Amino acid sequence: MGAKVIDRLSSDLKRAFPGTQGFSPRNLKYMRSFAEVWTTEQFVQQAAAQIPWFHNCVLLDKVKDPSEREWYLRATIQHGWSRNVLVHQIESGLYRRQGRAQTNFDHQISRLITISLTGTFIASLALTDIGIVRGQVAERKGTGDSLLKALTVNKSSKIVNS
């Protein structure tokens, strides 16, 4: 729509709905952009409607990539960002930075799983070694001491039997 058409529409809407705000030419342009960007009615009702109108205007003005825009919208809902915080996150490039932090999480989680599985295996061997089999209850005196001795691990991570 041309600028004159939008100006005329703005005047007509203000006249038709006296006392109602939000029909400025600028706001009508945002409404048109909003309808072009968020084409799925269900998405508009579930996500875009959960943030204030001017948050949506910021997203329309500052974020051109559709997936990035949706990411900021969802992050705004999740974290309850004010408009100023949203602007700051966009201008500081949070979307591009997120997920790129250098971590050793994958290595550490693999290490922890290995340690856990190794510990379970060693404990199983130790229990079998001192005569405790799954489902049995040891009834002999000193089983606790035997278990502690069986679970003692030397520097090479082997079970020390005494």
Q: What is the pLDDT of residue 156?
A: 44
What percentage of the chain carries pLDDT values higher than 90? 40
63 and 11 belong to one structural domain = no
pLDDT of residue 154: 44
Instruction: Tell me the average pLDDT across 36-55.
Output: 85
Q: Is residue 89 part of a domain?
A: yes
- Is there a single domain that holds both residue 87 and residue 44? yes
Burial classification of residue 69, based on how many CB atoms lie within 10 Å of its CB (0-12 exposed, 13-18 middle, 19 or more buried): buried
Question: Residue 156: inside a domain, yes or no?
Answer: no
Average pLDDT, the chain: 76
pTM: 0.56
131 and 78 in a common domain: no
Whether 159 contacts 122, CB under 8 Å = yes
**Are residues 31 and 64 both part of a single domain?**
no
Asked if residue 115 belongs to a domain, the reply is yes
Question: 160 in a domain, yes or no?
Answer: no
Please state, in angstroms and rounded to a whole number, the distance separating the CA atoms of residues 12 and 156.
85
* Residue appearing with tokens 């969802």: 74
Over its C-alpha atoms, the chain yields an Rg (Å, rounded) of 32
pLDDT at position 46 is: 81
In a domain, 94, yes or no: yes
Res. 10 pLDDT band, cuts 50 70 90: very high
d(CA 162, CA 150): 7
Q: Give pLDDT, residue 60.
A: 93
In a domain, 159, yes or no: no
Instruction: Give me the DSSP letters along 66-129.
Output: HHHHHHHHHHHHHHT--HHHHHHHHHTTHHHHTT-----HHHHHHHHHHHHHHHHHHHHHHHHH
95 and 45, same structural domain?
yes
Q: Which domain holds residue 47?
A: 40-101
Cα first-last separation, the chain: 89
Number of domains in the chain: 3
Kindly report, residue by residue over 92-128, the tens digit of the pLDDT.
Answer: 999 998 866 555 656 666 666 666 655 555 655 555 5
Residue 29 counted as domain residue: yes
Nearest to 68 by CA among 94, 42, 31: 94
Residue 77 lies in a domain: yes
Burial of 159 (0-12, 13-18, 19+ CB in 10 A): middle
Q: Look at residue 13 in the predicted model and tell me its pLDDT.
A: 93
pLDDT in tens, 46-86: 888 889 999 999 999 999 999 999 999 999 999 999 999 99
For residue range 111-120, what is the model confidence (pLDDT) as tens digits? 666 666 555 5
